[in-house]
Chain A
Amino acid sequence: MATIVKMPKLGTTMTEGTIIKWLKSEGDPVKKGEIYVEIQTDKVNIEDEAETSGVLRKIIAKEGETVKVGDPIAIIAEEDEELPDLENVDNISTQNQEKSPQVFQQEDKTEAVKQTISDKIKASPAAKRVARENQIDLSNVIPSGPNGRIVERDVLSYIQEHKVKATPVAKKIAIERQVDLKAIQKSPGQRITKQDLEDQIIQDVDNAVDNTIPVIGMRKIIADSMTYSKKVAPHIYLSLEVDMSKVIDLRERLIPLVQAQHDVKLSYNHILIKAAATALRLNPLINSSFTEEKIILKQHINIGLAVALKDGLIVPVIKDADKKGLAFIAKETEELVQKAKSKKLLPDEYQGGTFTITNLGMFDIESFCAIINQPETAILAVGKIIKKPVVIDEEITIKPMMNLTLSCDHRAIDGAVGAKFLQNLKQILEEPVNMLL
Chain B
Amino acid sequence: MSSKVYWRPIGFSCLRIEEWNEEFTLYQPDSGKTHFLNQMGMQIILDLAQSPASTDDICQSLAAQFELCLNQQFSQQIISILNRFNELGLIEKVEKESSM
Please say whether chains A and B are actual partners in one complex. no
